[in-house]
Amino acid sequence: MSKAYVCGTFDTKGPELGFLASCLQQAGVAVCTVDLSTRPHGRTVDVPAAEVAAHHPQGAGAVLGLDDRGAAIAAMVDAFECFILTRDDVAGIIGAGGTGGTALVAPGMRALPIGVPKLLVSTVASGNVAAYVGASDITMMPSITDVQGLNRISRRILANAAHALAGMIRFAVPEATASRPALGLTMFGVTTTCVQRVAAQMEATHDCLVFHAVGTGGRAMEKLIASGLMQGAIDATTTELCDMFMGGIFPADETRFDSVIATRIPYVVSLGALDMVNFGAMDTVPERYRGRVLYPHNPQVTLMRTTAEECRRMAEFMAAKLNRMDGPVRLLIPEGGVSAIDLPGKPFHDPAADAALFETLLAQVIPTATRRIIRLPFDINAPEFADALVAAFREIA
């Protein structure tokens, strides 16, 4: 029978984790308690720490009995991730803790497939949780008080968390029979017109999954591709490279495009929004960039135009990745502009920067029987460009 896994350090958070377990059981959900402690204690759990530690690649001795508590916790993180992937009865997973407990449980949660309910009650949930959530679907709930003792506040918060997980488990949406293959699409506000037209044309034959290109969006798409859950992609908006190279707030990482290299899925890619780096409000733009072309997208987001040299660097990175793709690939170049504000009379119109981007790709991407470059005289949001993306994908899919 599938169960809710209650995971954490029972040596320091035993009463709180036990309370979560009891709330779940009272809600009619079967429970499995998993101890991630690195020090001995007398509390009873379903899966003791030694059993989890035994899943470490170097065995339990690499986790338990170490003098260095930091090293022991780091090893338990690895052991727990290996352990949770061996379980075939995980209906959902929940944990509670401070910074240490959050960092201990989150990697194991991230390792589980998207769609498995994951809820983490944490003292850091109201801050920047990108390092904990990553490209997964972990739900973070602020603990308000520290996860230390049961009181009038912590009981309410923990009960809410347990009942939320119980609801996710008991009212799970049945998996639909996949009648259409899944297609990944990447979109940003300045490429919305393009991607909406592509999705409208593809939805009759494909289940279109649109990812917001804000760093986590690209990583989520890559994770699904790597998991075999995506049968193709029209990656029109590769703007996350800008933030990776120039230090913006929505960066990709060095693994961008690697899932396509590994899986060889049909892949159409373009250069959407490679004209912009994202920062927060205007006063958050780094001092070294204050003299650049800046555009307030909204009060919370300021855009910076990429230069010709920056475009060359991104194109070199992209070309190296494309040259490693052995599957069917089409690179479409929108010579009329890469975003809604990269047009004549618009704030980011910069033909020299665009030319550096296009010419570097044309010079460095190696065409093959399966890898082609298609140059088009349209901007990325022109109907003709969206139609060309669709035609290119249908040709190779």
Nearest alpha carbon to residue 380 among 183, 188, 212? 188
Domains of the chain: 3-170 (3.40.50.12020), 182-396 (3.40.50.12030)
Query: Which segments of the chain are extended strands (E)?
Result: 3-8, 31-35, 90-97, 118-122, 139-142, 182-187, 207-212, 232-235, 267-269, 276-279, 294-298, 301-305, 329-334, 371-376
Asked whether the beta carbons of 330 and 395 are under 8 A apart, the reply is yes
What global pTM score does this model have? 0.81
User: CA–CA separation, 228 vs 208, rounded Å?
Assistant: 15
| DSSP 8-state assignment for residue 214 | S
Average pLDDT over residues 386-394: 98
3-state secondary structure of 19: helix
Burial of 258 per CB tally in 10 Å (0-12, 13-18, 19+): middle
Residue type, 266: P
Residue 182, phi then psi, degrees to nearest 5 = -80, 135
What is the residue whose two structure tokens read 């017109």?
Answer: 193
CA angle 15, 16, 19 (to 5 degrees): 85
- pLDDT tens for 321-349 read 999 999 999 999 999 999 999 999 999 99
Give me the mean pLDDT over the 120-135 stretch: 90
Q: Please tell me the distance from the alpha carbon of residue 158 to that of residue 150, in angstroms, as a whole number.
A: 9
Strand, coil or helix: what is 329? strand
Give the model confidence (pLDDT) of 264-302 as tens digits: 999 999 999 999 999 999 999 999 999 999 999 888 899
